[in-house]
Amino acid sequence: MSWIINFLKSSIGKKLVMSLTGLFLVTFLVVHLIGNLQLLMPDDGKAFNIYADFMSNNPIIKIISLGLYAGILLHAIQGMLIAFENRKAKGKKYAVTSFENGNWMSKNMALLGTLLFFFLAIHMGDFWVKMRFLDVLNMVSYPELDYEVKNVYERVNLAFENVWIVIVYLIGLLSLALHLIHGFKSAFVTLGLEHKKYSPLINAIGIVYSITIPLAYAAIPLYMFFSHQSHY
């Protein structure tokens, strides 16, 4: 088994971990988005609350989410380690910084990743911790269910009344978009999936994905914030 350890210690092995966890998180973003878009349904949060209850109690989902947390942590920690090692490998930087040989995103993945990590901490502290571990949410009952569920919708709604929270989310999502613009195609290159005929397609999908997914996420706080505004 030493070959696996050697592989994971090699520069390409380390990058492979980044690539695979990154792509895993890319798929998670889609699933998470589909669930969360239910926040925008005109049913006072019924669909979303039932979905949230399912997501937090279904044993299979629970196991998957453990994988997700591991993926996030692995991506973040490995990313940090690589960033530190790379900084050491570069040594002194040039007095003049040029972006003519590479765009800003690709040269600042670690910075974007750190921003994302902080955003994730705020995001999870705000909803996930409150939902899972603190008994602060109101309960709500629906005729379809024979038990009460937590009213997560209400909590979300409340949060996005606050313009500062909305701004934090928008910054977080912008970081996500920038991180993805480089990360998406980079993950494929690291996997060795590069081909004159198909890479342009992968890159195009990457760009579309990196813009639409964060935009769709951003629609949630924005919609909620502005619908509050119009209620007054």
- The distance of closest approach from Cβ of residue 210 to another protein in the complex, given in angstroms and rounded to an integer, is 15
Closest CA to 131 of 170, 168, 159: 159
Q: Residue holding tokens 């670690």?
A: 110
Cβ-based neighbour number of residue 171 at 10 Å = 13
**Is 10 or 227 the residue whose CB approaches another protein more closely?**
10
Site for another protein in 107-136 (CB under 8 A): 107, 109
Closest CA to 211 of 29, 79, 71: 29
How far apart CA 117 and CA 50 sit, in angstroms, is: 28
Is residue 178 within the footprint of another protein (CB under 8 A)?
no
Is residue 46 within the footprint of another protein (CB under 8 A)?
no
Of 164, 196, 231, 232, the residue at the interface with another protein (CB under 8 A) is 196
Is residue 88 within the footprint of another protein (CB under 8 A)?
yes
Of 59, 100, 143, 147, the residue at the interface with another protein (CB under 8 A) is 100
**Is 111 or 170 the residue whose CB approaches another protein more closely?**
111
Is residue 198 within the footprint of another protein (CB under 8 A)?
no
Of 1, 2, 60, 96, the residue at the interface with another protein (CB under 8 A) is 96
The tokens for 210 are 């990196």
How far apart CA 193 and CA 198 sit, in angstroms, is: 9
Is residue 162 within the footprint of another protein (CB under 8 A)?
no
Closest CA to 5 of 23, 19, 17, 20: 17
The torsion angles phi and psi of 215, rounded to 5 degrees, stand at -65, -45
Cβ-contact 51, 152 below 8 angstroms: no
Is residue 193 within the footprint of another protein (CB under 8 A)?
yes
Is residue 92 within the footprint of another protein (CB under 8 A)?
yes
Beta strands in the chain (DSSP E): 139-141, 148-150
How far apart CA 177 and CA 220 sit, in angstroms, is: 16
Beta strands 139-141 and 148-150, pairing class: antiparallel
The 3-state DSSP class for residue 187 equals: helix
Site string for another protein, 5-34 (x = CB under 8 A): --x--xxxxxxx------------------
Site string for another protein, 47-66 (x = CB under 8 A): --------------------
Is residue 159 within the footprint of another protein (CB under 8 A)?
no
- Residue span binding another protein (CB under 8 A) among the ranges 37-45, 90-98, 143-151, 218-226: 90-98
* Residues contributing to the site for another protein (CB under 8 A): 3, 7, 10-16, 82, 85-86, 88-98, 100-102, 106-107, 109, 182, 185-186, 188-194, 196
